[in-house]
Structure formats: C-alpha cells, structure tokens
C-alpha cells in the first residue's frame, strides 16, 4: 500500500488520531502566556531530585502519565513509546520511560524531537505495528546549559540572539481512527521527513540562524509534496526559530516565491512573554514545541477554532564535541500535518 507523497512525505490513507496529550513545565513556563494550559507546573526546578538530569526524567514521566490518565488508559495498553531529549545517550527519556515499563525507542532529533517522535509513532500506528503509541520529548534549561553551553554557576552572559531552553515535556497518545468518534478530534494526515541543512553557522548562541534553512526547506517541500497552498493551513508553526530565525525563514522562503508571513507562528515566540520574562530571542528546546503543541495548538484544533496546521519542529544537530572542534551546526526540521475532524 503506497502512501508516499512527492519526494519526502507520507500521506496516510487512514489518518492517525491523537487520542490524548499532556504537558508539564517549570515555574518560568507557568508564568508565561500558556501557563494556564500546562497540565502540571513544577515550581522546584529539581523536581525533588538530586540533579538536573533526574529532574528532566521526572518531567517526561509525568507528562506521559497524565496523557494516559486523560485517555483512560493504562501504561500496559501502550504498544510502544518513542521519546527524545537533548542529553547524551537520551538519558532523560530512558530513565523517565524506564519507570513506565513500556516498550521503548529512543530517538534523537535535537529540538525537532516532537516532530520525530510524532512521525514515527504515527507510522507505527498507521502501518498496523501498534494500536496505541506514545510520542514524547523533554528538555530542561539547566541540563541543556550544562550540556551545550556553560554551567549556570559560571554566570556566562547571553547575547540577544540566544534563546531560553524550555523546562518541561510533552506527551501524545496516538491510535487508529477506527473505533474512535468521527467528529471532534484531531488527526495526523501526513508527515514530511526533513533533510539536514548546513549554512555554515557556528554560533551556539544563535540557534535560530542555524535552523531557519532546514525549516524553510521542509515547509517548501511539504507543501509541494502534498500539493497544498500556504493558505490551506490556518497556521504554519515552527519549533524554536525565535525572532532572529523567523526573519531569516521569511527571507529564504521569499527567494522561492513563498510568503508565509500572514499565518506563520513560532513556538519559541509563544511560550514566553519577551517583555516580562527577558528570554531574548524566545524559547527553545524539545519541550518548547511539545508544550506549545499540547498547551495551545491541539486545544484550538480539538475545538474547531483552527482546522489545519502544519507543525514543523526544528532542531540543531550539534554536540559538545562538534562545537568544541569548531565545526558548523547543521539543522533539521520535520513536518506534521494536523487536522480537525
């Protein structure tokens, strides 16, 4: 059964339903514009644990448990889980999912992990390999700073191009449309797998400039593959380009005759109040797109306020080693076509 579309996309003959979703966040996220939509806000950045990494595992475990509770499902009902984060060997995901005892695939897509896990879970369900699949991802400001930049105790100054890594997690339970209500839900109609793009940027404090080329490429190709127009979507939502990356995105797409300025949104520009919270270019991290998806995008789709969204989480594919060696920072973005039914 061929479900390929164009060069890089898959259009599901049987759309995959998002059965439930949940998100967790820290105190800064709770103080932001989406604070009331976050299922669990944890004031303690350590979440009662001994270190930042264990704290992040608690954020992702809690998001998964809440999503299951919302759906009235038990962890034993889930056939497989796909999860990712920013830490070495995906330790936030592996230690968090370990406590749930669900068959698990750890996947790495940097800050595009929400798109990676949703895509893989959707393909697993659509292909008949799972009746219920869990997609999740997490990030933590302190663990990310420790991993990729400077430990907090160093007191490093942040340039205005820098983004603020979101502390939190998102979890999404996917299942077959069959047997589900025909109206009032949200489905994944298709996905677009992104290509790695590298425009030679080396500054780890300017992730927006690193990731904008990948976002532009995936958005353009997704619309081409699905033979859709920009106006067919209520919003085209990128992950964490921030204010700097958004300008570059518009410029790159404009070179190909595509204008998304009227309906573009960026999760990094939605999760914090820049004037009140001083996050510079905006939010970032795996949890940035996941929390905005669960806290804002999906509720608007479930209610019917929005009908169709192209969700494009973005990721910068660097490590401590590649950065210290002076290598450039390649990026990737994955598209997920979400629709109200």
pLDDT, residue 174, reads 98
- Of the chain, the end-to-end C-alpha distance in Å amounts to 24
**150 pLDDT higher than 70:** no
- Higher per-residue pLDDT: 267 or 148: 267
- Higher per-residue pLDDT: 70 or 163: 70
Q: Give a yes or no: residue 181 inside a domain.
A: no
- Higher per-residue pLDDT: 282 or 13: 13
Q: What is the mean pLDDT of residues 246-266?
A: 97
Tell me which DSSP letter residue 46 carries: T
Domain boundary residue, one of 176, 207, 222: 176
pLDDT-derived band of residue 161, with 50, 70 and 90 as boundaries? very low
Structure tokens at 41: 């806000």
How many alpha carbons lie under 13 Å from residue 257 in its C-beta half-sphere? 3
Closest by CA position to 126, among listed 36, 288, 2: 2
Same domain flag for 162 and 208: no
pLDDT, residue 177, reads 67
pLDDT, residue 144, reads 82
Domain boundary residue, one of 134, 153, 176: 176
**280 pLDDT higher than 80:** no
Q: Give a yes or no: residue 55 inside a domain.
A: yes
**14 pLDDT higher than 60:** yes
Q: What is the mean pLDDT of residues 256-283?
A: 84
pLDDT, residue 155, reads 45
pLDDT, residue 243, reads 82
CA–CA distance, 219 with 258 (Å, rounded to integer): 10
Structure tokens at 336: 């997920």
Nearby residues of 338 by Cβ (< 8 Å), 6 or more positions away: 18, 186, 187, 188, 189, 297, 298, 301, 308, 309, 310, 311
Lowest mean pLDDT among 36-50, 83-97, 168-182, 219-233: 168-182
Q: What are phi and psi of 170, to 5 degrees?
A: -135, 145
CA–CA distance, 184 with 82 (Å, rounded to integer): 26
pLDDT, residue 181, reads 53
CA–CA distance, 14 with 302 (Å, rounded to integer): 19
Structure tokens at 120: 């893989």
Same domain flag for 196 and 282: yes
**334 pLDDT higher than 60:** yes
CA–CA distance, 289 with 169 (Å, rounded to integer): 9
Same domain flag for 127 and 156: yes
Place of tokens 């106006």: 231
* C-alpha distances in Å from residue 308, one per residue of 136, 189, 262: 22, 10, 15
Domain boundary residue, one of 157, 176, 195: 176
**178 pLDDT higher than 90:** no
Helix (H, G, I), strand (E, B) or coil at 331: strand
pLDDT, residue 156, reads 52
pLDDT, residue 301, reads 98
Per the prediction, the chain carries an average pLDDT of 91
Lowest mean pLDDT among 31-35, 117-121, 200-204, 222-226: 200-204
Q: Which domain holds residue 131?
A: 4-176
Evaluate whether 249 touches 217 at the Cβ level (below 8 Å): no
pLDDT, residue 159, reads 43
Same domain flag for 332 and 230: yes
- Higher per-residue pLDDT: 143 or 55: 55
Tell me, yes or no, if the pTM score tops 0.85: yes
Q: Note the helical H segments in the chain.
A: 27-30, 52-71, 91-98, 113-126, 141-148, 207-226, 242-254, 274-277, 286-292, 298-303, 320-324
Q: Give the number of domains in the chain.
A: 2
Same domain flag for 163 and 199: no
Same domain flag for 168 and 191: no
Q: Give a yes or no: residue 245 inside a domain.
A: yes
Q: What is the mean pLDDT of residues 148-176?
A: 70
Same domain flag for 156 and 222: no
Same domain flag for 118 and 241: no
Tell me, what CATH number does 292's domain have?
3.40.47.40
CA–CA distance, 34 with 306 (Å, rounded to integer): 17
Residue 49 bridge partners (DSSP): none
pLDDT-derived band of residue 35, with 50, 70 and 90 as boundaries? very high
């Amino acid at each position: 059964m061929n479900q390929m579309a164009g060069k890089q996309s898959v259009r599901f003959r049987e759309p995959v339903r998002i059965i439930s979703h949940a998100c967790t966040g820290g105190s800064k996220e709770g103080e932001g514009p989406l604070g009331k939509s976050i299922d669990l806000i944890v004031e303690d950045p350590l979440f009662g644990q001994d270190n930042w990494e264990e704290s992040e595992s608690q954020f992702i475990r809690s998001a998964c448990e809440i999503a299951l509770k919302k759906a009235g499902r038990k962890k034993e009902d889930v056939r497989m889980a796909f999860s990712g984060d920013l830490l070495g060997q995906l330790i936030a995901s592996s230690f968090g999912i370990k406590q749930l005892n669900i068959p698990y695939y750890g996947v790495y897509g940097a800050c595009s992990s929400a798109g990676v896990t949703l895509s893989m879970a959707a393909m697993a369900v659509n292909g008949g390999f799972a009746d219920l699949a869990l997609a999740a991802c997490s990030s933590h400001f302190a663990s990310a700073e420790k991993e990729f930049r400077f430990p907090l105790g160093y007191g490093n100054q942040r340039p205005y191009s820098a983004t603020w890594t979101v502390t939190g997690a998102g979890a999404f339970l996917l299942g077959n449309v069959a047997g589900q209500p025909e109206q009032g839900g949200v489905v994944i109609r298709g996905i677009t797998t992104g290509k790695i793009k590298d425009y030679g940027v080396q500054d780890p404090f300017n992730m927006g400039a690193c990731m904008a080329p990948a976002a532009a490429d995936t958005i353009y190709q997704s619309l081409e593959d699905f033979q859709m127009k920009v106006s067919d979507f209520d919003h085209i939502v990128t992950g964490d380009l921030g204010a700097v990356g958004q300008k570059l995105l518009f410029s790159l797409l404009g070179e190909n005759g595509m204008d998304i300025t009227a309906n573009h949104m960026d999760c990094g520009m939605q999760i914090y109040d820049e004037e009140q919270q001083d996050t510079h270019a905006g939010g970032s991290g795996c949890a940035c797109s996941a929390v905005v998806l669960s806290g804002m995008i999906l509720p608007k789709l479930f209610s019917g306020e929005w009908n169709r969204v192209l969700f494009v989480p973005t990721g910068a594919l660097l490590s401590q080693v590649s950065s210290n060696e002076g290598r450039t920072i390649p990026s990737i973005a994955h598209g997920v076509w979400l629709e109200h039914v």
